[in-house]
Amino acid sequence: MSAGKENEEGSLREKLVFTQETEEDAILNLSLRPSKVNDFVGQKAVVDNVLIAIAAANRRKEPLEHVLFSGPPGLGKTTLAHIIAGEMGTKITATSGPAIERAGDLIGILTNLGEGDILFIDEIHRLSKVVEEFLYPAMENYQIDFTIDKGPYAKTIKFNLKHFTLIGATTRSGLLSAPMRGRFGMLYTLDFYSPEELVQIVKRSSKILKIGLDKDSASEISRRARGTPRIANRLLRRVRDYAEVKNDGKVDAQTVGKALAMLGIDEIGLDTLDRKVLRAVIETYKGGPVGIESLAATLNEEPDTISDVVEPFLLKIGFLKRTPRGREATDSACAHMKVPPKNESRKELF
């Protein structure tokens, strides 16, 4: 394969599953994002627990306890935060961990929160240590201490905050410190969606986007969406583009198959980078085990991209497994890649 073609295929990854959305994707996702709990599909156990907590807080006329959502990108953490704000009838202020560089950046946000308001921090594991420690008394006692002046004239001022609710979202819950995690009253992990749930999401999105979508087309998109609503909606939009250009706007199962094949999405939702990762583990490292740093160096990718974006789904479908010595490809992965299993070359250490 030529280098140009490899670069072209590699760029598809950014369009489909990269966690940083383009401005166009962000606007479209906002329009497709459910604003009411009745429109939210999936994550039933999480939603049921959240609704009970909201109902109890409303009966006691108290703010909701702090909530932490964790899980891979695109599963609905931000959507749930906005739904909670709607159910509580309060204002939500949204920001992200990397956007808060200094403790001073947080003071203005916290002091402007009203009673029961929600502060949503996406990628909360990326808060700096200083900012994180500044949040502790705010979360626990609803107070912040900040220092004015310097040297012998320095004074510490204690400021009382309104009782607010912090909702944090993270794709790397293991990177959260124990003190931060311990200050959340509710911790929920979002899991991948079933194809049946994704069909409901795709059908709802198709109505909003005014796309004529039959059951077979919705099922085909859902089957290749890696269990992720965000990817399902992106694939739906790409199929719409393809249908408008190649099939007079008509969407059927055959059109969906051609559109997704052009994007490099195979029958179970793996794309170019997924296959590159599997091929490297199976062929270059004889099926594994291989460390994440070595794998990333081989593929010329960032370790975070592999561990955050690629691995969760491959682990979920049983194509990769983590061992104390590194990542290993399973026989299922070898069968999918049409490569003989390398089991005979692996020797377990005891």
Active site residues: 77-78, 122, 171, 230
Measured CA to CA in angstroms, residue 33 lies from 235, 243, 266, 314 at distances of 15, 23, 26, 26
Provide the sign of the torsion angle of the four alpha carbons 274, 280, 286, 289, taken in this order.
Answer: negative
CB-based contact 83:34 (threshold 8 Å): yes
* Parallel, antiparallel or unpaired: strands 118-122 and 92-96: parallel
Sequence-distant contacts of 326-329: CB under 8 A, at least 24 apart: 326/288, 326/289, 326/290, 326/291, 326/292, 326/294, 327/281, 327/288, 327/289, 327/290, 327/291, 327/292, 327/295, 328/281, 328/287, 328/288, 328/289, 328/290, 329/278, 329/281, 329/282, 329/287, 329/288
- Alpha-carbon span 321 to 326, nearest angstrom: 8
As a whole number of Å, the CA-based R_g of the chain is 23
Task: Show the 3-state SS of 153-182.
Answer: HCEEEEEECCCCEEEEEECCHHHCCHHHHH
- Alpha-carbon span 42 to 194, nearest angstrom: 8
